[in-house]
Structures are given as structure tokens and as C-alpha cells.
Structure 1
Amino acid sequence: MKTSVSDRTASSAAAGPAAAAPAAALATDRPRADAARWPDVAHGPRGSATRTAVTRLLVQRALAALPLRTALGDAPVTGDEGPLVRVHDPEAFFRRIGTDGLIGFGESYMAGEWEADDLVGALTVLASHLTSLVPRPLQRLRGTWARRRPSGQRNTLEGARQNVHRHYDLSNDLFALFLDPTMTYSSAVFRKRPVVWSDLADAQHRKIDRLLDLAGVGDGTRLLEIGTGWGELALRAAARGARVVSVTLSQEQRDLATSRIAQAGHADRVSVELCDYRQVTGRYDAVVSVEMIEAVGADYWPVYFDTLERLLLPGGRIALQAITMPHARMLATRTTYTWIHKYIFPGGLIPSVEAIAQHTAAAGLRMRENDGYGGHYAETLRLWRERFTQRSAEVDALGFDPVFRRMWEFYLAYSEAGFRAGYLDVRQLLLTRATTTARDGGLR
């Protein structure tokens, strides 16, 4: 490992799902947050009494209209249906939301100030009603109360390296606890339902094979992979006879991917380089990039697609797997600083299909195929979340404290809820050149 346990935990704090729990588990002791690692969780915002009171009124009114049951402090449960949300410390809960919105909502969970008997279920209800939770007059004034992303999270060459480091270099051992043996950290494509843990590795291979087929990868293909992960796609491409250059900004991922590739006997076919996609040279028959565009940032989408076009040989194919969100929501929130940005994926932005289409066209590329399967991501996340929860003692043994564990549980549940509510989707896209360019010997 290249970082100490304390460094890893602190870095996640600076950057910043549990399985359904029985009702008795809702009264668990609240974790004690280390103020040095988790300053905003430990101390919480000051907030004004008036703002907290107004927030309480608005939030209670919104929750009452949803299929949720709620209990504030020692008050009886209200609501007749849905998951139970129990707020142990209503004053802190409403103060955090009143001051920091959804960032405060997530930090309140990290602090143990609220629980749910079905966390994914509760978050799915909220995600399904996201556009109606905030009164319309306040939505129109979003720019006056929503926090804007810090400039330090922009994906410049150095910024992108730091943003990737803060998530993917946490610990290979941590990711190995909840990922399947392929170490694949993106949506699987399942063959059948119901989905169980033993299906996951096979479903990840099916996803990878679909992408390789989409890109036309076979014997002799010169393949560029943007975003190595831990090497599984490169391994399967090499097994087809392709020659692969795979680039990543994560030292931890590169180290493990290189080791796995060597052990599989493909070191002569695969090169894993610590390199930004903007600095890649050469030209390739095929380019594959799996759930990497979300880390590019809207400012750099034109550069990303121009780079794909520049690196593609005549007749080449590009296969992308991308998480997407509705275009209107992307436009409304593209500059907003969220809990995910603060604690999980600094600098990221999930694109819409419309935004991808716009930027591909501007780069001289054409979207040839576009298949979505968001329900499969929900199931992938469920398996990861359940696995993470079951192995909580091993997470602790790696040196990650209870606040980190609650943060990660919330992240996995929050993401799963987004797919279950249809707020998020995941798509496999095929891009090719719209025309032959001067670089290819003339225009067509």
C-alpha cells in the first residue's frame, strides 16, 4: 500500500448501503466523529434559529406528502406507509439541512443523527420526488442558496490527478472487500433474475464482452482503454489477441492491474500507463472507456471527445459506458456542490445523453448505438452494498472508522436509489467518425 490507513481516511474526509435494518437497530449508538478527519460532521454548522425553524416546517411538510413514515426524536411515528425514517436529533438534522441542504442531509447520516429501517427504500422515495421536495419559488432562487463547486475541484491536469487519488487510491484492500473477484467497479449486465452474489463476476464479464464486441475488438486490434480500473477489461481484450494501452491516474489501480496482467501472462500485450487521457499519443483501431466520462467535468467534455476523435484510426470504433441523468436536471445542477462531490467523487458531473450527443457531434463523431440498462446498475449496487455491510468488521480492521463506514454505506445506498427511481441510468454507446477527416486523407 502506498498510503497509510490514517492518510487514506483523512483524504476521504478532506474530499469530503446497509441492508435493511430491523427497527431495533435504529437506536444504535451514534459514532464519535474525529474532528481532525471529519470537521463538518463532528461540529456541524451553526445555523440560525429562524432558518432552522423554517427548514423544519418545509421538510416536515414535504415528508408528510411522501410514502414515508417518520419519527422525530421521542415523538410518535407519523405516516401510514413506507420505510421508517427515525431522526434521533431533530435540531441538528434540520440545522444541517437548513445550512447545507443535501450536503447537510448526508453529513447528518454520517453523524448518526438519523437512520432508516430501509435506507435504499427511503432514499428511493426521496429521489423519485426530487423535483417536488423544494417549493417552486425556492427552486427558481436556486442560485442564491445552492453552494457552487469550488474551483479547486476543476479537472485540470493536476486537479484531475488529485480528484482521482482521493477516491481510487483509498485502498485496494477496501475495494476488494465489496467488489467481486474481477475487481470491476462499474455496472454489470445480468443474465437472469433474481440476482445473487455468485452471478456478479459472470455479469461483469458479460458487460465487458458487450463493450469489446461493440468496439470490434479481436485478434490484432490496437485498443486504447481510458480508465484502467483494476485491469479486467484489458485482460479480456488481451485474451482476444488485442494489443492494449490502458491509461489511469490511480497509482493503486495501476499497481494491482499491472500485477494481475503479469500473472495472467499478458504483460507482452498490455501496457498500463499512469497518464491523463489528454496526454495519450498514437492512434488506435478501438477505444473503450467505462464510466470515466463522469469524472471529466463539463468544462472538459469538448476536450474529451476531441481527444477520442484524434486518437481513432480510420474505420475505428469507440465504445463508452456512461452513467447519465435527465438533461433538465443536469442543466439545473451542473454547478451545484453536492455531498457526492465533497466526500466521494470530487470534480465529477454525470452527463445527459443529450449532452453527450451534442459534444460527440461537435467533435466529428456520431452516436451509432445507445442502449440503457439502469436496473442492472441498481442490482450491482445492491450486491456491493450488502457485501460491504456484511464485511464491516474487515473495513474497521483496515483502519477506516465508523464515520467512514456510514459515509460509504450512504454513498452506495444513495447511488442505488438513484437508479431504482429512474433518476439515473447507465448506457453503452457506440461512436464512430461522422466523416473522414483531413487527417485520414480527405473529407467525405
Structure 2
Amino acid sequence: MPPDPRPRRSVRADGTPQRADPARWPDVARLPTASPARTAVAAHLVGGALKRLSLDVGDRTAPEAGTTRRPDITIHDPDAFYLRIGRDGLIGFGESYMAGEWDSDDLPGLLTVLATHVDDLVPAPLRGLRALWVSARPGRDRNTRRGARENIHRHYDLSNDLFASFLDPTLSYSSAVFTGFPARFEDLPAAQHRKIDRLLDLAHVTDGTELLEIGTGWGELALRAAARGARVTTLTLSAEQAELARARIDDAGFGERVDVRLCDYRDVEGRYDAVVSVEMIEAVGAEFWPSYFAALRGALHPGGRVALQAITMGHQQMLNTAATHTWISKYVFPGGLIPSRRAITEHAAAAGLRTESDLGFAEHYAQTLRLWRERFTASRGTVADLGFDTVFQRLWEFYLAYSEAGFRSRYLDVRQIVLTDGTLR
């Protein structure tokens, strides 16, 4: 089947159609090439799975009295929807949403159902044929020193104002720790500080501590550590993050205590009493995990402590994902891979680090993502004014809902892990 030459329609925030820009979104603007057989198989398998699951397919009517509305999916263009999935699997599923070919009144609920039953979507006899319809990760996304800079630039240098449109005033882009559920957006700053303070406590950061942070973000952890009296060296590859982090740190009066460096973790120099790294390992890539843990070990004084916050997934799921080009790796985090707890433990041990504690709190990330998603959705006008079109907005709504579903379903977890070299101070 030749590519469909017609530009695909996305949907504006007000519900009116919009053409996807083929220069900016080539794989959304035009339908891919796929054989009729693959499209028919996708329609049979996916269509059948949607009907078997606890979903309302193509039904946005109000539920009957006394019943609860189930997550729904309304497919506006079935031909395009199944063609994309037949050609590109889950990448096609996400691109179809970006193109406005399907919708849901409860996107995270829908994706949670799918994540919970991900192993049931394809019949067991056909799972061994997975390699026939998934794509390998492109070599250009490898996290070499140059590749890592480019990959970080593609996500974190989009716009500080974009991130500020949905993050709380601490500009923390990682899971918070709440005291109760459901959480409100007003709870986020305190919950983010609770998360940071817990990590600093785990790393034994106090007055006089020499602290290395790998992954600056927008500087909130460095600020909290400096307020304790620590001297902080913090590393980032994002020029936009570094600029704003320095400004925030200077405004708080901690410029002399915090050194923000545009630096790869592989180039770190010196030794520190403690190392903290928050949701950084996911951007490293499996190929470079030995280098990452070697850098952690090499940066520690004897008896020092490493406190990590890391998203994790099951080990077999990680192995499958490592060999696959996914929608997330294509559009959100190029070169990234979520590790398993086993991978972290084994790579840490190989570098001479021992796991001292390991605490998970997936439900807190689901709440964090829900609040970000709601804030992002409410800020569509601001996002549009920043120059991000409707396809981008649907991409990010899907990304935030997709991530929330991962934690809701427990397909993903988030953990705070303490590593030491086994010596006492």
C-alpha cells in the first residue's frame, strides 16, 4: 500500500480540525505504508482486545443510573487507526492519537486498562513474532557524550516556560511524596520538598557536606542542600536548565555554595561525601549503565553514600524494551531506558557499591503525574502562545497520561535507593 498523500488532521484545543505540519510531524501528517494483511491483523487483534477489556468502545453517552462510567475509546478514523498500528504497533497507536484519529474522555483510565492487560493484547502463540512488527532503536540515539547532549537538548531544552506551565513553583520534574490521597496541586510544593528532604537525609547531607548532584533539574535540590549548609556541585547537560538554576540559586543567596556545571557525569572530577541523582539513570541508556555506576563509585569518599531516585520496571519488560524503538523513545526521551531493580543492583555491585535500602512509592508518582497532566491541560492557551501546536499538545497529554497509567497499573515503580561502598566513616 503506498503512503496516503493526504495531510492528516489533528484537533485544535477548541475541537476544530487542524492540519498536522508535515515538516514538523512527518509521521503524523501522513499515513505510513502497510500491507492490507497487517492492517487486517491489527484490526482483528486490537479490535477484539478492546471489546474484551473493561472499556466502552465508541460510546461517549452518559452511563445508566447506578452504574459507573468505564474508560472509553472513540475511534474517529478506524482505517487510519488500524493501519498505523498494523505498521508500527504502539508507536502507531500514539501517533494516531497525535493525529486526532481517536480520543477518550478518560485517557489515563483507558491507558491504565491497556497497561494492566498488556500481556493479553496479543494471543500467546503470536508473542514470539514480536520482532516482526517492532522496530530496533536507531543508532543515532545512543548516549555517547555527543548523543547524550543532543538527547537531553531535545527534551529539556524545549522551553523553561513550557515546563513552568505545568510544574509547581519548585520546578521539580520527578515524583513527589505525599502524605495523603487524593492530592491537590496546592500540595505539590510541600510534597516535592518532602521527597528532596528524604533523599538528602538518606545521603546524610548536613552542614559541611560536600555533595555531588548528577542531574540538576532547575536547581531545587541544590537549593535545599545549600540551605542545610552543604557545598554542592551539580551537573546538567541542559543549557536552559543550567541558566535558570543558576538564576534561582543566586536569587536565594546560595551562589557561593552551589556550582552549576554543564558537564557529563562521565567527566566528573573530585570526591564527595555524598552523591544524589534523581531520575537521571533513565536517561543514561543500558549501554552506559556501567559508566554511570563507575562514576558514582569514583566520586565517593570512602564511607560516602549515594541516594538515587529511579523509575523501574520488571526485568523481562526492561529486556524487551531495551531492544525496541518505542513511542516514548521516539517522541519524548530519545536514548532513554527505564532500568529494573535487578539491573540497578547488579550494575551497582559490579562497580563496588552495595544496596543498603530500597523503598518504592508508585502511587505517589501516579498522583504527581495526574496533577501535572491536569495543569498542562488547563494551560493549553499558554502552551499554544509559546509556539507549541496542537499535535505537540496531544503528544504531551498522551505522554503524561501514558506515564500515569504505568504507575497506576504498577507496570512502573519509582524507588529511592541508597548505595554505599561498604566501609564505615
TM-score bracket, normalised by the shorter chain, equals over 0.9
SS of residue paired to 1:331: helix
Deviation at 1:435, TM superposition (A): 5.5
Contact 2:348/2:354, CA 8 A, preserved across alignment: yes
Whole-Å separation in 2 of the counterparts to 1:319 and 1:52: 47
What amino acid does structure 2 have at the position aligned with 1:246? T
1:113 maps to which of 101, 119, 127: 101
Contact 1:72/1:90, CA 8 A, preserved across alignment: no
Q: Which residue pairs with 2:44 in the alignment?
A: 57
Does 1:273 pair with 2:261? yes
The answer to which structure, 1 or 2, has the higher relative contact order (CA under 8 A, 6+ apart) is 1
Whole-Å separation in 2 of the counterparts to 1:345 and 1:26: 25
2:397 maps to which of 406, 409, 427: 409
Q: Which residue pairs with 2:53 in the alignment?
A: 66
Does 1:394 pair with 2:386? no
Q: Which residue pairs with 1:48 in the alignment?
A: 35
2:85 maps to which of 93, 97, 103: 97
Structure 2 length-normalised TM: 0.93
Whole-Å separation in 2 of the counterparts to 1:26 and 1:54: 33
Q: Over residues 118-155 of structure 1, what are the superposed CA-to-partner deviations in whole Å (9 max), with x where a residue is unaligned?
A: 00100000000011112222221222321110011000
Equivalent pairs counted in the alignment come to 407
Contact 1:96/1:105, CA 8 A, preserved across alignment: yes
1:299-318 → structure 2 map (5 Å cutoff): 299-318=287-306
Contact 1:31/1:111, CA 8 A, preserved across alignment: no
Whole-Å separation in 1 of the counterparts to 2:290 and 2:81: 40
Contact 2:303/2:422, CA 8 A, preserved across alignment: no
1:188-203 → structure 2 map (5 Å cutoff): 188-203=176-191
SS of residue paired to 2:418: strand
1:324-335 → structure 2 map (5 Å cutoff): 324-335=312-323
Whole-Å separation in 2 of the counterparts to 1:192 and 1:35: 45
Does 1:284 pair with 2:272? yes
Whole-Å separation in 1 of the counterparts to 2:54 and 2:303: 52
SS of residue paired to 1:178: coil
Does 1:182 pair with 2:160? no
Q: Over residues 55-105 of structure 1, what are the superposed CA-to-partner deviations in whole Å (9 max), with x where a residue is unaligned?
A: 1011111112100111299xxxxxx96211000000000000000000000
Contact 2:176/2:194, CA 8 A, preserved across alignment: yes
What amino acid does structure 2 have at the position aligned with 1:143? A
1:256 maps to which of 236, 244, 251: 244
Q: Root-mean-square deviation (CA), in Å?
A: 1.7
What is the aligned-residue identity percentage? 65
Does 1:418 pair with 2:399? no
Contact 1:365/1:431, CA 8 A, preserved across alignment: yes
Whole-Å separation in 1 of the counterparts to 2:339 and 2:86: 28
Structure 1's unaligned 5+ residue stretches are: 1-24, 74-79
1:208 maps to which of 196, 200, 203: 196
SS of residue paired to 1:31: strand
Judging changes above 3 Å, is the alpha-carbon distance between structure 1 residues 219 and 360 closer, same or farther for their aligned structure 2 residues? same
Whole-Å separation in 1 of the counterparts to 2:299 and 2:312: 24
What amino acid does structure 1 have at the position aligned with 2:238? S
Whole-Å separation in 2 of the counterparts to 1:72 and 1:216: 54
Q: Which residue pairs with 1:12 in the alignment?
A: none
Deviation at 1:359, TM superposition (A): 0.5
Does 1:357 pair with 2:307? no
Q: Over residues 316-355 of structure 1, what are the superposed CA-to-partner deviations in whole Å (9 max), with x where a residue is unaligned?
A: 0000000000111111221100000110000000000011
Deviation at 1:240, TM superposition (A): 0.3
SS of residue paired to 1:146: coil
2:372 maps to which of 384, 396, 416: 384
1:65-84 → structure 2 map (5 Å cutoff): 65-71=52-58, 82-84=70-72
SS of residue paired to 1:35: coil
What amino acid does structure 1 have at the position aligned with 2:362? G
Structure 1 length-normalised TM: 0.89
